[in-house]
Amino acid sequence: MFITIEGMDGSGKTTALQRVKQYLEDLNYKVVMTREPGGLPLSEKIRELILNKDGVGMEPWTEALLFIAARKEHLEKVIKPYLEKGYIVISDRFMDSTTAYQGGARGLGVDYLNELQKNILQGFLPDLTLYFELSFEDAEKRLSARPEEKNRLDEEGRKFKEAVKLAFEELVVKEPNRITVIDASKSPEEVFEQTKKVILEKIELWKKEKR
Ligand code: TYD
């Protein structure tokens, strides 16, 4: 089963996921967590190219295509092999980030990038996507508590981030069967509980379908 986690920076998705991974492992599931952009040496290099604050800016399409290139490597070399070995693979960000950040906020087109990626990924979609929803204000508050982690995209202003959020919301409406919203404004404990519940329900459903 392939699960992806999406949301604004500062939404607490990484923290919740680490706990979910431990929880699923305690239930004897084999789980691997990975992240985008990154996940293997070539993709980490691409990540550095894109997110490095010292780097000069780049054309929106250059940025989008680099993210997609890193994703293709990640999919073929990390995600698929683990799925074939029976792991639950959880990716911290995947295709919807490119659709929201580059398609929405950079203005390349939400539908266009969503369709383009489905073609490039040859229809390989996540079984489940969790969208961690958080207001701009709450996300900024959390981010200011860890300034050392800010990357080139975190430095973008309110307009950019509101556009990212809007694009995610558009995706939630378009693909309700795949994407579930998690209320990330709640306490870490509650966010973990919501995340766990949605994933467990999906696993049960998935098991039934496979039988
Ligand atoms: P990262 O430090 O991993 O942020 P987070 O921990 O919040 O995921 O940085 C990833 C940044 O790259 C984040 O600002 C979102 C952005 N991004 C895109 O713009 N497009 C993409 O396709 C991906 C995967 C990430």
- Residue 92 belongs to a domain with what CATH number? 3.40.50.300
pLDDT of the residue at 48: 87
Mean per-residue pLDDT over the chain, rounded? 92
Residue 205: domain span: 2-210
Which residues fall in the annotated binding site for ATP? Answer: 7-14
* Mutation probe of ligand 1 site: the residue of 93, 96, 121 with most atoms within 8 A of C-beta: 93
Domain count, the chain: 1
pLDDT band at residue 159 under the 50/70/90 scheme: very high
For the CA of 14, the closest atom of ligand 1 is 6
pLDDT of the residue at 75: 95
Q: Which of 36, 25, 8, 6 is nearest to 196 (CA)?
A: 25
Q: Indicate the Cα dihedral angle 120, 113, 135, 90, nearest 10°.
A: 0
pLDDT of the residue at 55: 60
pLDDT of the residue at 41: 86
- For 85-137, how does the pLDDT look when each residue is reduced to its tens digit (9 = 90+)? 999 999 999 999 999 999 999 999 999 999 999 999 998 999 999 999 999 89
Strand order through the sheet with 2-7: 31-35, 88-92, 2-7, 128-133, 179-183
